[in-house]
């Protein structure tokens, strides 16, 4: 069951979005209502399984292959209409778009909506962005991530006859330019709150749903992600005014 938790999160007041790869992190953002976004799961499968019953959904499970909560139908993580569920300890958290937070205008495709802040102090929007990144009067459209399913399963992956592609995080690859967003599900563009433009993230309707990395520097108390996917290195760039390198 859901239990009451006191949430105290420190975020940078003047964040800087770095160029290059982002920093991997487990809890990348918090919604305006205080609920955290935690896109990954503790579910795992080993490479040599013969049946899905040999996999485990429990946190701390062993196995090389990380299950996705969304975008697959083999494993049920009990998500509700907000793409959220309760983890061990009674913490309710989102894996994708918090539908009940969205305004009628956003659902109708008529307005952008700020739904939270990432742990590096960078804003998080839901679904929609301006078609022209430099114009707040351009039409809105769904923002498309730049991830796609790999054409060929990894060599040591469990058989797709047992576990279809799209079940594991490792089934996806980032391809720069295939969508609107970068590897951290973000882009530099104008928003209703930042008319001069700002680097910001999106919660999207397809993988990765919520970014798995951040471009800024989180406060030490929120740096709880595994290594890989870049790090503090790389050149910095301004959050507002002009995109890094622009």
User: pLDDT, tens digit, for every residue of 34-44?
Assistant: 999 999 999 99
In angstroms and rounded to an integer, the radius of gyration of the C-alpha atoms of the chain is 18
The arithmetic mean of pLDDT across residues 9-22, rounded, is 88
DSSP for 109-166? TS---EEEEETTS-EEEESEEESSTT-TTSPEEEPPPSEEE-SS--TTSPPTTTS-TT
Check if the beta carbon of residue 149 is closer than 8 Å to that of residue 166.
Answer: yes
- pLDDT of 59 reads 80
- pLDDT of 238 reads 40
Q: If we measure between CA atoms, which residue out of 84, 97, 105, 146 comes closest to residue 126?
A: 97
- pLDDT of 18 reads 84
119-177 confidence digits (pLDDT tens): 999 999 999 999 999 999 999 999 999 999 999 999 999 999 999 999 999 999 999 99
Residue 200 φ then ψ, to 5°: -150, 160
3-13 confidence digits (pLDDT tens): 888 888 889 98
- pLDDT of 221 reads 67
Please name the residues in contact with 108: beta carbons below 8 A apart, sequence gap of 6 or more.
Answer: none
* End-to-end Cα, the chain, rounded Å: 48
Note if the bond before 181 is cis, omega within 30 degrees.
no
Residue 101 φ then ψ, to 5°: -85, -15
- pLDDT of 233 reads 28
Tokens found for residue 72: 């697959």
User: If 0-12 CB within 10 Å is exposed, 13-18 middle and 19+ buried, where does residue 159 land?
Assistant: exposed
164-221 confidence digits (pLDDT tens): 999 999 999 999 999 999 999 999 999 999 999 999 999 999 999 999 999 999 887 6
- pLDDT score of 236 more than 90: no
Q: If we measure between CA atoms, which residue out of 176, 178, 88, 180 comes closest to residue 128?
A: 180
* DSSP strand pairing (186-189 vs 198-203): antiparallel
Question: Model-level pTM?
Answer: 0.87
CA dihedral (177, 82, 34, 76) positive or negative: negative
- pLDDT of 37 reads 96
Percentage of the chain modeled with pLDDT above 70: 89
- pLDDT of 245 reads 35
């Amino acid at each position: 069951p859901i239990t009451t938790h006191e949430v105290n999160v420190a975020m940078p007041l003047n964040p800087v979005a770095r160029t290059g790869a982002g920093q991997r992190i487990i809890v990348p953002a918090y919604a305006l209502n205080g609920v955290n976004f935690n896109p990954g799961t503790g579910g795992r499968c080993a490479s040599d399984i013969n049946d899905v019953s040999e996999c485990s959904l429990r946190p701390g499970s062993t196995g090389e292959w990380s299950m996705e909560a969304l975008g697959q139908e083999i494993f049920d993580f009990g998500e509700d209409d907000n793409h959220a569920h309760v983890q061990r300890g009674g913490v309710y958290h989102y894996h994708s778009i918090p539908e009940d937070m969205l305004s009628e205008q956003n659902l109708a495709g008529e307005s952008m909506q700020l739904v939270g802040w990432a742990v590096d102090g960078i804003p998080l929007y839901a679904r929609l962005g301006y078609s022209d990144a430099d114009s707040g009067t351009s039409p809105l459209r769904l923002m498309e991530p730049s991830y796609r399913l790999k054409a060929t399963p990894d060599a040591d992956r469990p058989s797709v006859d047992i576990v279809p592609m799209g079940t594991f995080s490792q089934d996806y690859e980032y391809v720069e330019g295939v969508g609107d967003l970068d590897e951290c599900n973000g882009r530099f563009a104008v928003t209703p709150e930042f008319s001069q433009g700002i680097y910001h993230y999106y919660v999207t309707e397809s993988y990765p749903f919520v970014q798995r990395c951040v471009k800024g520097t989180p406060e030490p108390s929120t740096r709880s992600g595994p290594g890989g996917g870049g790090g503090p290195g790389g050149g910095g760039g301004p959050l507002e005014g002009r995109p890094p390198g622009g």
